[in-house]
Homo-oligomer: A and B are copies of this chain.
Amino acid sequence: MSKEAPPPAARATIRDVAREAGVSVTTVSHALNGKGTASEETRRKVLAVAERLAYRAHPMARGLRRGRTGVLGLDMRPLDAIGSYIPEGVDYFVRFAGAAAVTALDHGLGLMLVPDLTRSDVSRAALGVDGYVIGDPTRDDPVLTRLLDASVPVVAVGRDPGRPDFTDWVGTDDARETERMLDLLRSRGARRVAFLAGTDDNAWNVDAELAYREWTARHAMPARILRVPEAAGEDGGRDAARRLLTGAGERPDAVHCQTGRHASGVLAEALRLGVAVPDDLLVTAGSDAQQTRIASPAITALDLAPEESGRAAVELLIARLNGEPADGPVVIPARLHVRASTGPA
């Protein structure tokens, strides 16, 4: 190490700034955080020096003092299920996480990926995180329970069906969006619409199914509901299609599937069975995914706007952290991508 070279990453401390500006560290802190009462002149001087020295408060020191880490945790369930199966909605996850991370950073915060909290011990859960964003809570979600019990700020993506009082969530209005999709099917001539839901007991499945029931009743249509595990993917969709199309009873002329993978499986199996899509059968999906875009014909689907959800979730969490008043659930409108699986435009 040559004595000539400046020590490489000698980070400037608040003391350096204070010395250089000829004021106390208190004043520097105040000037930088807009807290105390300092003359405009002093403030400007401090800002200038801080700028010149490229000073940034050491995140640890600040965190220690403020009792905040400046990091948000993101717990989307699929994360540590990866490896065991290819999860539905990988592109949902990436788009959501990307937007969340960018939004957090825009607020000077980091976004930490946290594997399923139900599996890791509680202590870890507290691992230096100011608050959590958790994805798609199931009814009376255990992770949510744990975090709320520990009074850790938390925002969910989608409501917890068993916890009507918990309003810190962000998501789509699944009932309304489902109706929208069903209306589209009806306008395209469908009169016997089957519904293929997942088995996870979350609001997304629950609300869509309820909407479907009400919608079929309203239109005096038969209700035909199948439930297939999300993890069953395309194969699950294929099985369901076989049951729907070759089984007893009147054949549906449309199938609305919650997941894109199920829809993709239904489509493939229908084609294999010689049922033409969209001529003999309309197929739609409650969530957009690579599968729905790639399928041939491409599948009409609801785009759940993960980018906007990610941004909104982080912003809501930050509002919580700042003790701002509750502004209830944030509803993100979905986009309806009409594609070939529901007939010509």
Which of B60, B112, B152 is A112 in contact with, Cβ under 8 Å? B112
Given A59-B128, A64-B64, A98-B79, are A151 and B115 also a contact pair (CB < 8 Å)? no
Q: Which residues of B contact A69 (CB under 8 A)?
A: 59-60
Which of the segments A40-48, A288-296, A321-329 contacts the partner chain?
A288-296
Which of the segments A119-127, A134-142, A193-201, A273-281 contacts the partner chain?
A119-127
Q: Does A297 contact B (CB under 8 A)?
A: no
A60 CA to B172 CA, complexed, in Å: 36
Q: Does A91 contact B (CB under 8 A)?
A: yes
Count, chain A residues at interface, CB 8 A: 60
A123 CA to B78 CA, complexed, in Å: 33
Given A102-B80, A105-B124, A112-B71, are A61 and B59 also a contact pair (CB < 8 Å)? no
- Nearest opposing residue in chain B for A93, CB measure: B94
Q: Does A217 contact B (CB under 8 A)?
A: no
Chain multiplicity (copies): 2
Given A61-B64, A83-B99, A114-B105, are A268 and B296 also a contact pair (CB < 8 Å)? yes
Which of B8, B110, B307 is A83 in contact with, Cβ under 8 Å? B307
Q: Which residues of B contact A152 (CB under 8 A)?
A: 9
Q: Does A87 contact B (CB under 8 A)?
A: yes
A91 CA to B93 CA, complexed, in Å: 9
Residue of A56, A123, A152 most packed against chain B (CB within 10 A): A56
- Nearest opposing residue in chain B for A80, CB measure: B102
Q: Does A220 contact B (CB under 8 A)?
A: no
Q: Does A95 contact B (CB under 8 A)?
A: yes
Q: Does A54 contact B (CB under 8 A)?
A: yes
Q: Which residues of B contact A291 (CB under 8 A)?
A: 290, 294
- Nearest opposing residue in chain B for A62, CB measure: B60
B-contact 0/1 string along A287-309, CB 8 Å cutoff: 00011001110000000000100
A111 CA to B112 CA, complexed, in Å: 5
A123 CA to B105 CA, complexed, in Å: 12
Q: Separation in Å of the A115 CB from the closest CB of chain B? A: 5
Q: Is the CB of B87 within 8 A of A94?
A: yes
A151 CA to B6 CA, complexed, in Å: 13
Interface residues of A in 37-90 (CB under 8 A from B): 54, 56, 58-61, 63-64, 69-71, 74, 78-80, 82-83, 86-87, 90
- Complex A-B, nearest 10 residue pairs according to Cβ-Cβ distance, in ascending order: A59-B128, A101-B113, A60-B64, A82-B98, A60-B63, A90-B91, A110-B112, A79-B98, A90-B94, A290-B290
